[in-house]
A and B are shown apart, each in its own frame.
Chain A
Amino acid sequence: MSSKLPYTESELVELLKLKSQRAYNYLYDNYSAAVYGVICKVISDADEAADVMQEAFIKIWRNIEQYDASKGRLFTWMINIARNLAIDYIRSSRSKNNSKTETLTEATPLAPGDYTDHIKTDHLGLNKVIDELTIEQKAIIDLAYFQGYTQEEIAKELNVPLGTVKTRARAALLKLKHLFV
């Protein structure tokens, strides 16, 4: 990915902090799909997901000053913003609908195959990666990274001890690292 960049990440961040519209344009062109993909993991309705993405990109532009490179990558920061907005959106729309007043943890537990249903893309690369991951590893990443579950929530969701969640999380990441890095 980074080989395609005309900017290094630090240059991009610097330009964004200077409110360069060009850098922002670049950011959108290169990361909007990933951001939208993450939002779509949480919000199934495409229009609602697009609205949340708009909110996320506006927040990224407005709050770029708050991004601290020492805490992690720009991408991680952006994904966190997008995912948090998406989760907030789902929670508030659920409470508005009065269908469930419970928190996400207490919502109807996901059926075992439910989280994998989100992965519908037939992207060759993705399928290849998914084939390499175990079902457990995939579930951990989906719940933690895409759905924003806590360790406790995942433990409950998957009905495994907390320590297992931690171990699986590490194993999943090591597998990804092995595949990508």
Chain B
Amino acid sequence: MNIQEYISSGIIENHVLGLTSPAEDAEVVKLSEQYPEVRQALREAEDALMNYALLHGKTPPANTKDKIFKALVDQGQMNETPTVDATPGFSAGIGETKTHRITRVLAIAASLLFVASVAFHLFKMADFRQQIRQLEQEKTDLIAQNETFMAQIQEAHQELDVIGDPAFKAVVLSGVPGHDDNRALVYWHNVSHTVYLKPTNLPELPTDKQYQLWGIVAGKPVSAGVYESHDSQQTLQQMIALADVEMFAITVEPVGGSKQPTLDQMVVAGKI
């Protein structure tokens, strides 16, 4: 077959206009698959006709598109919800706006929930911080209390050691006239001459005064040091060691103590 002759016979043009018989149609298709020239001529004829048809285009009624999509959905030919692949032109009719509305409502609800939960957590966090501060304060207090107890226990041990040691001699210092109720205890080691003082009932002093302990050695007063504590705590305090003591006495002196006892300020005294 002469292809050029076939092409110029007019059969392709008649085919695209729908004027050929089914047998001729089949022949055109078959030859267009075999010969690129035939295919080319067929495409050109189709495109020419297509462009002519496009010129005759008329805009269809606006709702036709929605009707088509709705019909396809109703027939189960198409999904109700347009997939991500829907374009803006593909509008209302098949529930796109509804989906958008639901999505928007969900988004707003999620944001509100998020803000609420952030606020709640911030509030809870402030609460926790407050609790942590309280617990830390309590811990500090407990440590301080513990230290106080430890100190007291240590003192008590020390006192027990002193009291329990038979080498220590307890000297009771009784109130001199005018201070009848007052009392103090001195523990004195007759070998090492160590002196401990424990006020058992001495009045509290103003801050510029201190109790000073004196030992009477060979008839003369010798300072055994001042008692440090101002409060009424009856803690045992080690004093200056003194040998050959005949008697102990306590006077009220200015802070730091005096070289000679102020005799009219004597509170308690006791012989060994």
A contact residues vs B (CB 8 Å cutoff): 1, 19-22, 25-26, 28-29, 32-38, 40-41, 46-47, 49-50, 53-54, 57-58, 61-62, 70-73, 75-76, 79-80, 119, 121, 123, 125-126, 129, 140-141, 144-146, 148, 150-151, 154, 165-167, 169-170, 172-174, 176-177, 179-181
- Assign chain B's interface to a size class: 35 or more
Q: Judging by beta carbons under 8 Å apart, are A121 and B44 in contact?
A: no
B51 sits at the interface (CB 8 A): yes
Stretch at the interface among B65-73, B145-153, B185-193, B239-247: B65-73
Q: Judging by beta carbons under 8 Å apart, are A169 and B65 in contact?
A: no
Chain B residues near A33 (CB, 8 Å)?
A: 54, 57-60
How distant is A133 from chain B, measured CB to nearest CB, in Å? 9
B50, B53, B83: residue with the most chain A Cβ atoms closer than 10 Å? B53
Q: Judging by beta carbons under 8 Å apart, are A166 and B14 in contact?
A: yes
B218 sits at the interface (CB 8 A): no
B contact residues vs A (CB 8 Å cutoff): 10, 13-14, 16-19, 29, 32-33, 42-61, 64-65, 67-68, 71-72, 75, 77-79, 82-83, 85-87, 89-90
How distant is B17 from chain A, measured CB to nearest CB, in Å? 4
Q: Judging by beta carbons under 8 Å apart, are A167 and B10 in contact?
A: yes
Chain B residues near A177 (CB, 8 Å)?
A: 44-45, 48
Chain B residues near A70 (CB, 8 Å)?
A: 29, 32-33
| Complex Cα spacing A144 to B45, Å | 14
How distant is B229 from chain A, measured CB to nearest CB, in Å? 94
Q: A22-B85, A38-B56, A169-B10 are in contact. Are A62 and B77 (CB under 8 A)?
A: yes
| Complex Cα spacing A121 to B54, Å | 12
Chain A residues near B89 (CB, 8 Å)?
A: 25, 29
Supply 16 further A-B pairs (C-beta < 8 A) apart from A29-B89, A167-B10, A169-B17: A21-B79, A21-B85, A21-B86, A46-B61, A54-B67, A54-B71, A58-B77, A73-B50, A80-B18, A121-B56, A144-B19, A145-B53, A166-B19, A173-B45, A176-B49, A181-B48
Q: Judging by beta carbons under 8 Å apart, are B55 and A123 in contact?
A: yes
- Please, could you name 13 A-B residue pairs with CB atoms under 8 Å apart, sorted by A? A25-B87, A34-B53, A34-B56, A37-B57, A53-B60, A75-B46, A76-B49, A123-B55, A145-B17, A154-B19, A180-B47, A180-B51, A180-B52
Q: Judging by beta carbons under 8 Å apart, are B78 and A173 in contact?
A: no
Within the complex, which residue of B14, B47, B56, B90 is in contact with A41, where a contact is CB–CB below 8 Å? B56
Chain A residues near B90 (CB, 8 Å)?
A: 21, 25
Q: Judging by beta carbons under 8 Å apart, are B46 and A72 in contact?
A: yes
Q: A50-B61, A73-B43 are in contact. Are A141 and B54 (CB under 8 A)?
A: no
A1, A34, A167: residue with the most chain B Cβ atoms closer than 10 Å? A34
How distant is A29 from chain B, measured CB to nearest CB, in Å? 6
Q: Judging by beta carbons under 8 Å apart, are A32 and B60 in contact?
A: yes
| Complex Cα spacing A163 to B187, Å | 152
Q: A28-B65, A61-B77, A126-B56 are in contact. Are A179 and B48 (CB under 8 A)?
A: yes
| Smallest Cβ-Cβ distance to A119: which chain B residue | B56
